[in-house]
Amino acid sequence: MLDRLIDLFIRFVRLFQFFTVMNEFERGVVLRLGKYNRTLGPGFHWLIPFYIDIYYFANVVPESYDVRNQSLTTADGIQVAVGIVLFYGISDIRKFVIEVEDAESVLINASKGVVAGIITSYDYDELVMMDLAQEIYPEIAAKALNYGIDVREVAISDFCKARSLRLMGVSGT
């Protein structure tokens, strides 16, 4: 009961919020009556209260994400495990916040698709000889720009032959 009262109080106070302050490491966007109004940089910004102006923000400092290993089959039928690390930052806060739902998950899934496409199109010996990160980077970076994300580097965290054992659930009747 107390938590509901606190929540009601916070909502009431936010109803009268007429300013916000963005930190140096944040960027944001303001929606006025549900439509994009402006982009916010660091500093003090006025807002129209009563939920006429609503702001959304994100941390724009560079981040890294360790994409889980994928078990894939090369063009010559060899099972490999491939893991990558993405180093990225937000380049377009409007796209990142407004135009894509959960842009980071979209980036992770798109990068897995790129990795799978490249691994499955080459033989194992070709993959061992090439600079795999340099092969993967341009495609991931191009896809990420569609989501307002600037991929700065792709590193291979794991690449090895692997035995893949996939178990399928069997239900007894």
How does pLDDT run across 35-74, given as a tens digit for each residue? 999 999 999 999 999 989 999 999 999 999 999 889 899 9
Q: For residue range 79-101, list pLDDT tens digits in order.
A: 999 999 999 999 999 999 998 88
Selection from 61, 81, 79 nearest residue 70 by Cα? 81
Indicate whether 68 and 139 sit together in one domain: yes
Q: Are 42 and 19 in contact (CB under 8 A)?
A: no
144 in a structural domain:
yes
Indicate whether 103 and 70 sit together in one domain: yes
Which CATH number do you get for residue 149? 3.30.479.30
Indicate whether 55 and 67 sit together in one domain: no
Indicate whether 68 and 55 sit together in one domain: no
The residue segments making up the domain with residue 125 are: 63-161
Indicate whether 50 and 67 sit together in one domain: no
170 in a structural domain:
no
> Residue 34 pLDDT > 70, yes or no?
yes
Selection from 18, 49, 45, 17 nearest residue 29 by Cα? 45
> Residue 163 pLDDT > 90, yes or no?
no
Indicate whether 19 and 100 sit together in one domain: no
Q: Which residues of 24-50 are buried (b: 16+ CB within 10 A; e: fewer)?
A: eebbbbbbeeeeebeebeeeebebeee
